[in-house]
Structure 1
Amino acid sequence: MNSQRSNLSSTLHSLDGRSYGNYKQIRGRYEFGPVTVFIDRVQVDPFASPSKVRIRINRAEAGFPTDITTERADRIAVSDFLFRVGNSFLHRTDRHAIILGRPGQEVLERTNVVIDDEGFEARLLVNLPARGRRILGHQAADILTRDVPELAQAMFVHANLATSAQASDGPTRDDSGNDAQDDSSDALREHVQLHRDQLELQNHLGEEDLLAFVGNGAILPRRSGDSDLPMDSRAVAFTSPSSLEHTVTLSSGRSLTGMAIPRGVTVIVGGGYHGKSTILRALERGVYPHIAGDGREWVITEPSATSIRAEDGRAVTGDDISPFINNLPSGTDTRAFTTTNASGSTSQAANLVEAVEVGARSLLIDEDTSATNFMIRDERMRALIPAEREPITPFVDRIRPLFTRRGVSTVLVAGGSSAFFEVADHVIALDAYVPQEVTEKAHELVGVDPAELEGASPADRDAASPASPVNREDESADDSGDMFAAPRPRIPTATALRPSSKTKSAKAKGLGQVQFGKAFIDLAAVSQLIDPQQTTGIAEALEYMAEIFDDRTSLTDALAEVEDMLDAQGVDGLTGNRDHPGHVSRPRPQEIAAALNRFRGLRLVE
């Protein structure tokens, strides 16, 4: 037996029955053959946060091919694969004291498992056992000197992946009798190649001026409202309308055919429960790569796409919402609007301009989660309430200039109003989850001459005949060329994220909330936040940005600095490269900004 292993084991056995605080004696580094175990932090009592333990194997001992563990994107994919192997191993063997984390359907950059030039490392949380407040040393010895090293061997020794495949109920030998090691190695390579292809397809969207791609055969419905797993055999596989069908051949040789959504304005319609919101949710999640078997592997959305909704009661600080809300009876300046309790329309306007401020090139909107008076105002209401007496210019009047002047596209789900037909480049109707393009018919219904619009660019459409509904009277009356010009930069004060009452670091409270000092930031309406570890990443990012703000750095510049750091250092950089950073996933800048914008203590330089 390795002497260090023997020492740890004997120490733990000797601690059996003693008070819990004596566990602190085991902090340190231990060698278990090729596996190094680091006990970085020991919990202070049985009810405190779990102890932090790392396991590490160097590259030579791990034996993984260098061609899939060298490039940054490949390392993220391999780390994700090994994360799933380890999680399944722990679940199958009922080793509940060890926590590696819970993977979802998406591939995220995480701190749970990392690959660097020297080797492979997993960061574990371990609940050290006790009876009351007394150490269970014999059980602890089994966990730390047997279970933890076995997990490292299962995850990080390439030759052991075949055995580890049993953790996900996979066969150890195929029907032809070939070693399952070959299958497991193939599964790893397929996981990496899928990730490469998804990233390449996402890049292809930008090259082809596309907003999103939905592959034929995709399974978009989920098993239930509270499950992200794909629906069973009852699900209708997606098939693209012929008019929007697009084929792309990737450098791997993989050929994909599906629906390509061009940049511009796309409206999705259909009866209730026919799949409108389902496809929108798939597009929301399409900013992330997905694992094989999810059904949405080939639903790929351009990476800045942001979901926008009404959010009554949120705080707003210094937003320029004047393109949508202006001339308030109170005289409030909406070019730098601040409130602690936004209405539905005001909150949706704020969400939109904040998304554009941080670089969103596409907006994803469902009328079911929108404020009606923000979205539309019908002709009778326009006649009854003159434009000069209505502070809200509805989104239907701004959606086209938002695209033509700022290059921001929109995908909108509409089930109860035809108001957006006249400003849409494409109208897609869903019938029992089967899409058809009905643009021409929709234009005819609202009096848009297809001959006028055919072949016209979006800018040409905005210059159509004054009789066309595309040109709203109130839009032409108050629009200027810089209506959607870049707003004045918002510059937080140097102390914006350092309130005097804050004595502890920011902390995630589940998926939808961050505690920041005595304040709580509500992220429940931020629908593209998909993993509680991302919320932890947001909490860390807020701490990081607290050191950036200096009365001169804008919000967008601070976000860019965070992104540059993450690209250079990975998620560990958010945590100051602590030996054991805990379990953190990389959030998008859009969600970091969403948290900062909802912080009620945010203050700006005047």
Structure 2
Amino acid sequence: MQTSNDLKTLLSRIDRRGYPAYKDTRGTYQFPGYVLSIDHVQGDPFAAPSKLSIHVDGRQAGFPQNLYRLSCQRIALQDELTRRFGHLAAQASFQAKGSGHSGLISISRCGQEVLERTACRLDPNTGKLVLRLEVGFPANGRTINARELEKILFDLLPRCVEQSLFYRNLNQARLQAVADLAEDQQYIRDMLPQMGLCAFVADGSVLPRASGVSSLPMKNAVPFHSPQELSVTLDLPHRGKITGMGIRRGVTLIVGGGYHGKSTLLKALELGVYNHIAGDGREYVITNESAVKIRSEDGRSIRRTDISMFINDLPNGKDTASFTTEDASGSTSQAANVVEALEAGTSLLLIDEDTSATNFMVRDELMQRVIHRDMEPITPFIDRVRELYEAHGISTILVAGSSGAYFHVADTILQMDRYVPRDITALAKQEASAFPVSAAPLSPAPLPSFDRRPAPSPEFRGDRIKLKSLGRDGVSINRETIDLRYVEQLRDGEQSAALGYAMVYAQQHLMDGRHTLRQIVAELETLLDEKGLESLCGGRSGVSFLARPRAQELFACFNRYQGLQL
């Protein structure tokens, strides 16, 4: 390992040379209190910035183990340190001048959710801290400006490191509050199945967002308050007693007039699979971590998926027990999304009628009289929703505003009235009794075998694979786009990037035609648990900014790849 003085000497030597001479700076350098590693150097000042990492020994960092004793606490602490460094880096960025990206200092931009990221990783055994960042190496035109890089590496960056990565210099009460909140959130998540619940929304939560394009809480919003019939109280390890609405397992229907908060509540539940930062308003909105948002997805690719429990006897004779299409309809895409969610191990489906295929969700009595069941290949979701719960333990939370058909099959019916929830189960059931169901019950349908065994695709041979994140919209691999726009529980473009790397890793190491998709995802989860997101990057130069997706999103990505060999 070289010293920081060695780096200064090198920078002086290459000053005013051609930009490629910056490549000589690659390596590790001992600075006071930490090690600076220059992992990848950009090819020119207009290319993607250089990748650097900061390594702080556990004794130097000094974070007490009680702050990261639990995995959820460690992730929350990493998130807090990333936010702190990002705030300081934004102030220091572009203080060094030059062309292109010269002077840029950047790190992952964290949203309202707390995600595990490659940007910051704390070793749970040693307390060692690794922080990854990007720096635009300064140039005048395409000539090295080493004096400006020296300003970054020996002045601006050390100040950011000193004020964000050493426990002695941080607000220790704030760090303890971050760890305590994470433990309380995990406690609620662990208690849900024990209490027969699939979700919890604390009284006082702020569910509406500032706008349709903002994830910040709305000012002066109506705070959430549970109906008495659904109110439950938990005794959290740190906050103590907390009261809120417990959504019981089974079939829950959310109804109400337009703009009264139905979809707002569902959106909060949808994102309740993640922990949220303090001040978000949804810190104590906790949903079963396997929950999957289901919607129609016209035009998506489907590969050998058994949708026969919902769609059968197509007029063209197409096999729905092993259904394949490059251009799915609304109903076939939603049927596939449900079945794939079951394959991914969900125990809770979240559905909004606004984004659903009407013919997949329900067929009214008049339509059934005109078009008999034996002439309709679609078995609507309403005919399977109770079976999914009673036979397979899969609950559903459904938003409906235009049809009362689900009153008959729901266990709990909530009305949102100006953002205030009311339990109207008894009233709705009484009214529904005046509209008896005339259709005969269906025979139960067994769940698919989930025995799909993907083989490696030829496109993934060799090391020269081009991978590009398209933000939350998807990922491009060798110019093949995997469309993730409608995988609504993805919250960050870095999760999409991680899905791309996971696809490449799975194709090269796990997909062999013998392992099922379930086994492949399970092996990926074990890899991420034991070795972290960095393990997906293989031998690539520098670790990319990645955020961990759930297993459910891994399934969603694999299922939307048109080249999946099944």
TM-score by length of 1: 0.88
- Alpha carbons of 1:502 and 1:414: their partners in 2 closer, same or farther (altered >3 Å)? farther
* CA RMSD of superposed structures (Å): 1.9
> 1:152, 1:56 → 2: CA distance?
10
> 2:463, 2:407 → 1: CA distance?
50
Worse-superposed segment, 406-415 or 129-138: 129-138
Q: Secondary structure at the match of 1:526?
A: coil
> 2:410, 2:403 → 1: CA distance?
13
> 1:315, 1:511 → 2: CA distance?
18
Which residue of the other structure, out of 265, 287, 303, is the alignment partner of 1:317?
303
Contact kept in structure 2, 1:58 and 1:120, CA below 8 Å: yes
Q: Secondary structure at the match of 1:211?
A: strand
Confirm or deny that 1:123 pairs with 2:110: no
Equivalent position of 2:176 in the other structure: 189
Q: Deviations over 1:218-270 (max 9, x none)?
A: 0000011011000112x000000000000011233621100000010001011
Q: Secondary structure at the match of 1:143?
A: helix
- Alpha carbons of 1:468 and 1:76: their partners in 2 closer, same or farther (altered >3 Å)? same
**Aligned counterparts, 1:254-293, within 5 A:** 254-293=240-279
Confirm or deny that 1:112 pairs with 2:125: no
Equivalent position of 1:152 in the other structure: 161
Confirm or deny that 1:231 pairs with 2:218: yes
- Alpha carbons of 1:3 and 1:497: their partners in 2 closer, same or farther (altered >3 Å)? closer
Q: Deviations over 1:453-505 (max 9, x none)?
A: xxxxxxxxxxxxxx963x841x43xx14xx13342411112x23745699414
> 1:215, 1:122 → 2: CA distance?
34
> 1:488, 1:248 → 2: CA distance?
37
**Aligned counterparts, 1:344-383, within 5 A:** 344-383=330-369
Shift of 1:94: 4.2
Contact kept in structure 1, 2:198 and 2:287, CA below 8 Å: yes
Confirm or deny that 1:220 pairs with 2:207: yes
> 1:426, 1:147 → 2: CA distance?
57
Question: Is there any run of 5+ residues in structure 1 with no aligned partner, and where?
Answer: 162-183, 449-466
Contact kept in structure 1, 2:2 and 2:29, CA below 8 Å: no
Q: Secondary structure at the match of 1:8?
A: helix
Question: Is there any run of 5+ residues in structure 2 with no aligned partner, and where?
Answer: 95-102
Equivalent position of 2:419 in the other structure: 433
Which residue of the other structure, out of 443, 447, 454, is the alignment partner of 1:492?
454
Confirm or deny that 1:401 pairs with 2:387: yes
Worse-superposed segment, 235-244 or 512-521: 512-521
Contact kept in structure 2, 1:317 and 1:337, CA below 8 Å: yes
> 1:368, 1:497 → 2: CA distance?
39
Contact kept in structure 1, 2:122 and 2:129, CA below 8 Å: yes
Contact kept in structure 1, 2:117 and 2:546, CA below 8 Å: yes
Confirm or deny that 1:564 pairs with 2:526: yes
Confirm or deny that 1:544 pairs with 2:505: yes
Shift of 1:440: 1.0
Q: Secondary structure at the match of 2:36?
A: strand
Shift of 1:134: 1.4
- Alpha carbons of 1:282 and 1:569: their partners in 2 closer, same or farther (altered >3 Å)? same
Contact kept in structure 1, 2:306 and 2:448, CA below 8 Å: no
Q: Secondary structure at the match of 2:23?
A: helix
Aligned AA (1:370): S
Q: Secondary structure at the match of 1:423?
A: coil
Confirm or deny that 1:59 pairs with 2:58: yes
Q: Deviations over 1:261-309 (max 9, x none)?
A: 0010001011111111101110011000011000000100000000000
Q: Deviations over 1:105-152 (max 9, x none)?
A: 111111101111151110111111122211122111111222222222
Confirm or deny that 1:509 pairs with 2:470: yes
Aligned AA (1:306): V
Aligned AA (1:63): G
Q: Deviations over 1:30-66 (max 9, x none)?
A: 1221121011111111122211111121122222212
**Aligned counterparts, 1:72-221, within 5 A:** 72-94=71-93, 97-116=104-123, 117=126, 119-161=128-170, 184-221=171-208
**Aligned counterparts, 1:380-391, within 5 A:** 380-391=366-377
> 1:118, 1:78 → 2: CA distance?
12
Contact kept in structure 1, 2:90 and 2:105, CA below 8 Å: no
Aligned AA (1:122): L
Q: Secondary structure at the match of 2:429?
A: helix
TM-score by length of 2: 0.94
Equivalent position of 1:38 in the other structure: 37
> 2:2, 2:537 → 1: CA distance?
34
> 1:31, 1:550 → 2: CA distance?
44
> 1:577, 1:443 → 2: CA distance?
60
Shift of 1:537: 1.0
Q: Secondary structure at the match of 1:292?
A: coil
Contact kept in structure 2, 1:270 and 1:415, CA below 8 Å: yes
> 2:195, 2:404 → 1: CA distance?
29
Worse-superposed segment, 302-311 or 141-150: 141-150
> 1:542, 1:596 → 2: CA distance?
7
> 1:429, 1:501 → 2: CA distance?
56
Aligned AA (1:530): R
Contact kept in structure 2, 1:505 and 1:543, CA below 8 Å: no
Worse-superposed segment, 20-29 or 288-297: 20-29
Q: Which runs of 4+ in 1 moved over 6 A?
A: none
> 2:233, 2:502 → 1: CA distance?
39
Aligned AA (2:451): P
> 1:600, 1:237 → 2: CA distance?
44
Shift of 1:580: 3.9
Equivalent position of 2:490 in the other structure: 529
Aligned AA (1:160): N
Aligned AA (1:128): F
Q: Secondary structure at the match of 1:156?
A: coil
Aligned AA (1:552): R
Provide the aligned length of Structure 1 versus Structure 2. Answer: 555
Worse-superposed segment, 115-124 or 329-338: 115-124
Shift of 1:71: 3.9
Shift of 1:10: 3.6
Shift of 1:18: 1.9
Worse-superposed segment, 497-506 or 81-90: 497-506
- Alpha carbons of 1:406 and 1:502: their partners in 2 closer, same or farther (altered >3 Å)? farther
Which residue of the other structure, out of 270, 281, 286, is the alignment partner of 1:300?
286
> 1:45, 1:97 → 2: CA distance?
14
Aligned AA (2:143): R
> 1:488, 1:115 → 2: CA distance?
37
- Alpha carbons of 1:38 and 1:499: their partners in 2 closer, same or farther (altered >3 Å)? closer
Shift of 1:404: 1.0
Aligned AA (1:37): L
- Alpha carbons of 1:3 and 1:491: their partners in 2 closer, same or farther (altered >3 Å)? closer
Shift of 1:517: 1.9
Aligned AA (1:597): N
> 2:69, 2:428 → 1: CA distance?
51
> 2:525, 2:116 → 1: CA distance?
13
- Alpha carbons of 1:203 and 1:486: their partners in 2 closer, same or farther (altered >3 Å)? farther
Q: Deviations over 1:177-218 (max 9, x none)?
A: xxxxxxx11110000110011011101001112110000000
